[in-house]
Amino acid sequence: MSKVWQERVVYQIYPRSFQDTDGDGIGDIPGIILHLGDLKNLGVGILWLSPVYASPNDDNGYDISDYRSIQPEFGTMADMDRLIAEARRLDILLVMDLVINHTSDEHEWFRKSRDPHSSYRDYYIWRAGVDDGPPNNWTSFFTEKCWEFDPRSGEYYLHLFSKKQPDLNYRNPAVLNEIEEIMRFWLDKGIYGFRCDVINVIYKASLEDGERKFMLTGSEHYISRSGTHEILRRLRSDVLDHYDCFAVGETVFVTPKMARDLCGPDRRELDMVFSFEHMDTDQYFVKWFRRRFHAGRFGKVITRWQTELDWNANYLENHDQTRSVSRFGSDTAFWKESAKMLAVLLLSLRGTPFIYQGQEIGMTNFDFKTMDQIRDIESHYVYRLFRRLHMPKRICWRMIRLAGRDNARTPMQWNASENAGFSTGTPWLRVNGAAQNINFESQNMDPDSILHFYRQMIALRAQSPVLLNGSFRSIRNSRRLIAFEREWCGEKLTVLLSFSVTSQRVAGAGSVLISTAGRTEYSGVLAPYEGIILRTEMKT
Ligand code: ISL
């Protein structure tokens, strides 16, 4: 029997950019409450909130200074309790972001830890330098060195992300106990689980020098090491097993084999993982060097994960990725067609679908022109790095424009009014000029809109045993077409997805279950960017 988190569709909210209600230009929890009805109408069953905890906001909340309090910009704990209760009333479950690889350097534990004699010293990873330099040659996710010198104690601390995000020390049992208490605190409040941030890097197996690489030197010492598995099993048996909840891990650089070790049927660690391989198919080497999207490459990777894992956490967008319609479809001539076709893809794969805010109305990449419009810390680090390497400004900007995380973080486009109905104040990040044409209100009134199509597709999945439970078999992955079959109890669905700006002949039989082109019969020709699902009953 399938589980609740397998049946439902998850919607990710980036609270900062969702809906501001107090005019400070920053989205807030009352803003989320305001839209619960819209989310219910969409068919969403689970909400994942990017971090809402107290934070100095070096990395927009992924640097937590107090896990038990709410970021004042977002509201109060009373607002949060109200959100949990109102959501429950609508039968929507809430999932929190659990960021436990690191805390903020302003967290009380870290402040105390700066004192070498404090019992908190060992909560973090402190080491003496070597030959007047840092303890090893590792580099951070944000490209710079990942050790910061603390003059007061004469030692360095490790930070895999920014220097305001010191890594916790999971060799210290006290750290695990603290994290377990935090998880219980939130689960006792009635949340339904966690999205666990960079969870497969938490345990550092050694601090030896890493093999030199362009990015992330040292990562072989901490990616999916056995210590991480032990910690995850502890979190499962000590905490998660005692609640009705689930855990999805964000797992960087995982292979299907590593993923099976984290969430396979016989492993009692995570329920699902987010992998990145499909997101890497339009890049050379690292995401900053984008190459032309190729549906065949993309489809092959998706096929591999669908085949090698029993259950995937499927996503095409999140707050770290660029907008899927701009990236895998077309944000010009075939915007509507391709956004709908991508909805068919996401919602007809085997696994739990995750929709990122704005995806359901086909929001596109930002229209910014200069670096000073960018807020994302990663983009600024990377820009500086490439400038230091003497790359021309024009090329550096192009990289940020094509791959920067702010593409997904522009405020939600609710209507065509000033600031797109997101805020009456000055938005913390500029609203995309496309809001005039791409917004929730106009699509809510238009039965042919992307928003309506998402509603239909979500409802279809919820009612279709074959979409929920069926097996997956790839038919074709080519430059212009991704095609696969789902099968369950004598019923077969054939999913045909065009990635082409022209029509194409593709054989397919059966009755039309849904088509982005609104057709009721299929004659063997797919319209540009059409997505269609055909249904056949199989003779036994
Ligand atoms: O953004 C990335 C690639 O597109 C990644 O390098 C990203 O930093 C990585 O996937 C980890 O992401 C998570 O942890 C970070 C935080 O900045 C991200 O927003 C979060 O999703 C540190 O907590």
Q: Which atom of ligand 1 is nearest to the CA of 99?
A: 23
Q: What does the pLDDT read at residue 540?
A: 61
Measured by CA distance, the residue closest to atom 2 of ligand 1 is 320
Q: What does the pLDDT read at residue 147?
A: 97
Q: What does the pLDDT read at residue 1?
A: 63
Distance from CA of residue 426 to its chain's centroid? 26
- Per DSSP, the residues of 81-142 read HHHHHHHHHTT-EEEEEE--SB--TTSHHHHHHTSTTSTTGGGB-EE--BTTB-SS--B-TT
Q: For residue 311, give both structure tokens.
A: 């259950």
Distance from CA of residue 302 to its chain's centroid? 16
Q: What does the pLDDT read at residue 538?
A: 82
Q: Say if ligand 1 is within 6 A of residue 320 CB.
A: yes
Which residues partner with 75 through β-bridges? Answer: none
Q: CA torsion angle for 250, 315, 292, 332 (degrees, to 10)?
A: -140
Please give the Cα distance from 528 to 17 (Å, whole number).
Answer: 32
Q: Are 513 and 523 in contact (CB under 8 A)?
A: no
Q: Is 180 a catalytic residue?
A: no
Residue 320 Cα to ligand 1 midpoint, Å, equals 6
**CATH numbers and ranges of domains, the chain:** 9-94+314-346+360-368+407-463 (3.20.20.80), 108-158 (3.90.400.10), 468-537 (2.60.40.1180)
Q: Which atom of ligand 1 is nearest to the CA of 320?
A: 1
Radius of gyration of the chain (CA): 23
- Selected catalytic residue, list 28, 59, 197, 378: 197
Q: Say if ligand 1 is within 6 A of residue 99 CB.
A: yes
Residue 381 Cα to ligand 1 midpoint, Å, equals 13
User: pLDDT of the chain along its 540 residues, tens only?
Assistant: 689 999 999 999 999 999 999 999 999 999 999 999 999 999 999 999 999 999 999 999 999 999 999 999 999 999 999 999 999 999 999 999 999 999 999 999 999 999 999 999 999 999 999 999 999 999 999 988 899 999 999 999 999 999 999 999 999 999 999 999 999 999 999 999 999 999 999 999 999 999 999 889 999 999 999 999 999 999 999 999 999 999 999 999 999 999 999 998 777 899 999 999 999 999 998 999 999 999 999 999 999 999 999 999 999 999 999 999 999 999 999 999 999 999 999 999 999 999 999 999 999 999 999 999 999 999 999 999 999 999 999 999 999 999 999 999 999 999 999 999 999 999 999 999 999 999 999 999 999 999 999 999 999 999 999 999 999 999 999 999 999 999 999 999 999 999 999 999 999 999 999 999 999 999 999 999 999 999 999 876
Pick the closest to residue 7 from 356, 457, 468, 460 (CA basis): 468
Measured by CA distance, the residue closest to atom 10 of ligand 1 is 252
Identify residue 462 by its one-letter amino acid code: A
Please give the Cα distance from 114 to 329 (Å, whole number).
Answer: 49
Q: What does the pLDDT read at residue 45?
A: 98
- In the three-class reduction of DSSP (H, G, I as helix; E, B as strand; rest coil), residue 492 is classed as strand
- Per DSSP, the residues of 440-473 read HHHHHH-TTSHHHHHHHHHHHHHH-HHHHH-EEE
pTM above 0.85, yes or no: yes
Please give the Cα distance from 301 to 280 (Å, whole number).
Answer: 9
Q: For residue 80, give both structure tokens.
A: 């949060």
Q: Say if ligand 1 is within 6 A of residue 197 CB.
A: yes
Residue 423 Cα to ligand 1 midpoint, Å, equals 26
Q: Say if ligand 1 is within 6 A of residue 287 CB.
A: yes
Q: Is 537 a catalytic residue?
A: no
Residue 267 Cα to ligand 1 midpoint, Å, equals 25
Distance from CA of residue 279 to its chain's centroid? 11
Q: Which atom of ligand 1 is nearest to the CA of 405?
A: 1
Distance from CA of residue 95 to its chain's centroid? 13
